[in-house]
Amino acid sequence: MDATITDLEAREILDSRGNPTVEVDCTLACGIMARAAVPSGASTGAREAVELRDGDAKRFGGKGVRKAVAHINDTIAPDLITIDAREQAAIDETLIAMDGTDNKAVLGANAMLGVSLAVARAAAMASDLPLYRYLGGPGATRLPVPHMNILNGGVHAHWQGADFQEFMIAPYGASSLREAVEWGAEVYHALLGLLEKKGLSVGIGDEGGFAPHVKSNEEPLELIVQAIARAGLRPGTDVGIAIDPASSEFFEDEGFYNLRTENRRLEAGEMVDYYERLVDAYPIALLEDGMAEEDWPGWKRLNHALGDTIELVGDDVFCTNPAIIAKGIEQDIANAVLIKLNQIGTLTETIAATRLATHHGWGAFVSHRSGETVDSFIADLTVALDTGHLKTGAPARGERVEKYNQLMRIEEALGTAARFAGKSAYVRPVRF
Ligand code: PGA
Ligand code: ZN
């Protein structure tokens, strides 16, 4: 099939928070048309690639993306037409050169990523391959452990609940992805019942998890352990817990971690002690962004205390940026990286960031953003890159479940070749 790009057309659509984002259609000479949409974060790292917003206060409070859309339609499209869509690396390199900045501030990372992903999906279709196989080859057969964010706090709950942003369940004891999704949904509903019984709020946050008004950051862990048991499963053995405090959001200039719900301000060392106690008391397999992005000494301390015991994932601190990840590996500050496509802005750089981590024995944990669309690209990407685990929100809300549903479709398509990562998902063995 002729995979020459003949047209790229972008538009402004809405994301799951009701904010504008970029959608791109890529058309090829053979007639194939593929579409991709760009997600958007709320608790963003300072060194993420630039998400270009119009800044016109009269539209969407300044969040319009008409400029990014125009960059695709008027600047990028004329340059990429006549290139073969299967030349992903060359296309991404062209985008990077056209932009010319380190942080993609000229074209906008949202414009660039929309193109990068639409091109990849079109190339897969032209190659007559499902996306996970096109990206990952015949060895892409391992399904990830889904990390489902069932209790939301922090900025995703508008600071009305826990300080910690994400409390996730990891059904790693299941025998298949499908069973893991089933268990996850059952625990989610068990938690709903538990919250109702306790008279706690059952309103939900940005990623679909409940956002109750808890009095501490430990209370959600207690609730989740109870919910797992209520669902007839064994905490730790069948279902583990992962947390993303997103601590940069409550780290203050004076160097304190401010836990508002608990009325406590902790120094880095005290914060590390706090996590050690939680890891002792609960079946926590993974801790993301335990320390703030600017607190590298704190990260080192955390890695020293817990890096041999659990997976310590860096999100805001690395921003999926190979240059920063390389520094983190050299300074031994964590043992895994979060992988978010729009933090870096092209598919090729995202693959490079993942490889850099895994080649050094680090884990790679693929992630959605709090502002999402129904685009399920990361489901295929996770299987293709064989990262063994991903997080993509609660087992509820269309933009979250579409990723889990796509993983179930992939597992079905792989048939007997499918394997479920289970407890081998992590860079440190599960303790239960
Ligand atoms: P964000 O949150 O998408 O709002 O950045 C996700 C995360 O911090 O992992
Ligand atoms: Zn995070």
Structure tokens at 84: 């073969």
Instruction: Determine which helix (DSSP H) or strand (DSSP E) holds 145, and give its type and residue range.
Output: strand 145-152
Using CA atoms, how far apart are residues 320 and 35, in angstroms rounded to an integer? 23
296 CA to centre of own chain: 22
Structure tokens at 307: 């890096």
Ligand number nearest CA of 393 is 1
The answer to whether the CB of 247 is under 6 A from ligand 1 is: no
Q: Which atom in ligand 1 lies closest to the alpha carbon of residue 316?
A: 8
Using CA atoms, how far apart are residues 28 and 85, in angstroms rounded to an integer? 8
Structure tokens at 286: 């993974």
pLDDT at 55: 98
Torsion of CA 232, 233, 234, 236, to 10 degrees: -150
Q: What is the DSSP letter of 212?
A: -
pLDDT at 20: 98
Ligand number nearest CA of 207 is 1
pLDDT at 224: 98
Which residue, 276, 284, 278, is CA-closest to 306?
Answer: 276
Q: Which atom in ligand 1 lies closest to the alpha carbon of residue 44?
A: 5
Ligand number nearest CA of 287 is 2
pLDDT one-digit tens code per residue, 120-154: 999 999 999 999 999 999 999 999 999 999 999 99
pLDDT at 295: 98
- SS3 annotation, 92-144: HHHHHHHHCCCCCCCCCHHHHHHHHHHHHHHHHHHCCCCHHHHHHCCCCCEEC
Residue 8 Cα, ligand 2 centroid: separation in angstroms?
Answer: 32
User: Would the pTM of this model clear 0.95, i.e. be above it?
Assistant: yes
Residue 166 Cα, ligand 1 centroid: separation in angstroms?
Answer: 9
Label the pairing between strands 284-288 and 20-28: unpaired
Q: Which atom in ligand 1 lies closest to the alpha carbon of residue 369?
A: 3
Using CA atoms, how far apart are residues 279 and 271, in angstroms rounded to an integer? 12
Which residues of the chain carry a pLDDT beneath 50? none
As a 3-state breakdown, the chain gives helix, strand, coil percent values, each rounded to 5, of 40, 20, 40
What amino acid occupies position 94? T
pLDDT at 64: 98
pLDDT at 397: 98
Label the pairing between strands 311-314 and 20-28: unpaired
pLDDT one-digit tens code per residue, 339-372: 999 999 999 999 999 999 999 999 999 999 999 9
Residue 106 Cα, ligand 2 centroid: separation in angstroms?
Answer: 26
pLDDT at 274: 98
Positions marked active-site? 207, 340
The answer to whether the CB of 42 is under 6 A from ligand 1 is: yes
pLDDT one-digit tens code per residue, 18-76: 999 999 999 999 999 999 999 999 999 999 999 999 999 999 999 999 999 999 999 99
Which residue, 263, 288, 283, 267, is CA-closest to 164?
Answer: 288
Q: Return the CA Rg of the chain.
A: 21
Substitution site in 44, 243, 344 for ligand 1 pocket (most atoms within 8 Å of beta carbon): 44
Using CA atoms, how far apart are residues 218 and 384, in angstroms rounded to an integer? 35
Helical H segments across 198-288, by residue range: 219-230, 268-281
Tell the residue number behind the tokens 């989610």, with chain if given. Answer: 188
Q: 15 near 40, Cβ under 8 Å? A: yes
